[in-house]
Chain A
Amino acid sequence: MATTQSNLQPTALISDMANAIRNQVDTNSNDVIIVGIHTGGAWVAQTLHQELKLNTELGLLDISFYRDDFTQKGLHPEVKSSELPEVEGKTIILVDDVVMSGRTIRAAMNELFDYGRPQKILLACLIDVGQRDLPIQPDIIGSQIELQAKQRVKLSGPDPLQLHLMNIEEKRS
């Protein structure tokens, strides 16, 4: 599968995202929680969590049980357990690596509400490629990029974090 490494540096983008988060929430508060969506979002969330030196535990979310394409694609064989601190009444910074259709974020919010009722959710995504199917917009983004038709962006990691551009036809072949 042919992939091209992107010129974008994820760690630099995550630093910018951390600054943007500091401008929007009090990161010293015990009511602020970072929650990363497996797998790429969890890597970004972990780096953000270290950079922001939050007092609260990092949360991890696997949205496999909440996907709306379960009947088409089936159950992912490698479901990871979601591990969340208490979310009731908290401000949650929900983190994903790439936001495109918005369906993953919708599933993640559905799952979060099954753990409790957060006071507020901010959405932070490393890369926004547009092409939304649902009315979901990130509050904080690392970078916005435009993709050519049939092109996708993928984050590899966790060490080092690298962004790759790939052609979905090549991926299938």
Chain B
Amino acid sequence: MNPSEIQLNQEGRLKHFLTTEGLSQEILTEILDTADSFIGTQARSVKTVPLLRGKTVVNLFFENSTRTRSTFELAAKRLSANILNLDIARSATSKGETLMDTLWNLESMYSDMFVVRHADSGAAHFIAQHITPNVAVINAGDGRHAHPTQAMLDMLTIRREKGSFKDLSVAIVGDILHSRVARSQIHALKTLGAREVRVVGPNTLLPHDIESLGVRAFNNLKQGLKGVDVIIMLRLQKERMQNALLPSESEYYKLFGLTTDKLAYAHPEAIVMHPGPINRGVEIESAVADGPQSVILKQVSNGIPMRMAVMAMAMSGQTQELAQEEG
């Protein structure tokens, strides 16, 4: 089964957003266009629009993430939805309640949308398959699998900076093995027509079959950056050091940290991205993170309109399908 079939309604429109994998260029472009039109609403004195007025969005975070949860909360509020934040990790399931019991309880409260963050790959898919059909599910990151809204806000940033994907060479640098963002980015970049996608990292952090996704793998940062138009740095998790996947932070920085001299290997107008939070002096030098080629803060700004777009589209797809079933 195409991994995206569950995400689309009978009309082929988005009703859940679980992964970028398998979604058509048309849908991804529609997401980008919709997010673009929400950007204008963010500069107004009244930043809210009434699209999801009366709807209830539940932030179901089985794994901690202050930043992602805050942006989903703000996005829902700017769509005029009611939002409920549940820190599941510290509540229901820790008392022995099963995942399905938690979901059924939330369904009974007439929730309209679940935003799900979970440490297990496939959790958002599982929930989308098992909940009542009129609830939209948005994946806010599941295990090593996918983080589609982060990938799409990165695509939005790239398109706004570079105009299109057609002639772009993009390098994704760092811990590809454990990165759900990298997978979602690779699928989105390939579908949107990027000329070349490279992944760069130490062998211990590159999946052995990564080239089957249509990317080129590099172990040398300078070679991997040569001539690229976009550099996406990934966050390095400190536990990778403890688990002996990497020798040390300083060794990693020496080989894979993005410094001014290494940045010079990329195209002179290359942009530098990072999903945050940044480990300065580990993944990236401060002079680069704060430098003229950095678009890191623009990524943060684009997070809200992108999440507004995905939530509005999924809710619209759900209600359309429900109307057809009732009709």
Contact = CB atoms under 8 A, between A and B. Distances in A.
Contact of A65 (B50, B319, B323): B50
A65 B30 contact: no
A128 interface: no
Contacts of A83: 40
Interface in A115-147: 115-116
Given A65-B49, A110-B50, A75 B44 contact: no
A75 B34 contact: yes
A64 B46 CA distance: 16
Interface stretch (A3-11, A16-24, A66-74, A158-166): A66-74
Contacts of A81: 36-37, 39-40
Secondary structure of the B contact surface, majority rule: helix
Interface residues of B, number: 24
Interface string A79-95: 11111000000000000
Contacts of A79: 33-34, 37
Contact of B51 (A70, A73, A78, A115): A70
Contact of A77 (B33, B40, B44, B45): B33
Given A81-B40, A114-B44, A74 B320 contact: yes
User: Among B49, B50, B320, B323, which residue has the most Cβ atoms of chain A within 10 A?
Assistant: B50
A74 B37 contact: no
B30 A80 contact: no
B298 interface: no
A78 B33 contact: yes
Interface of B: 13, 30, 33-34, 36-41, 44-46, 48-51, 312-313, 316-317, 319-320, 323
- 8 pairs of A and B residues whose beta carbons are closest in the complex: A74-B316, A65-B49, A114-B46, A79-B37, A75-B316, A81-B40, A71-B319, A74-B320
5 contacts: A74-B13, A75-B312, A75-B316, A81-B37, A114-B48
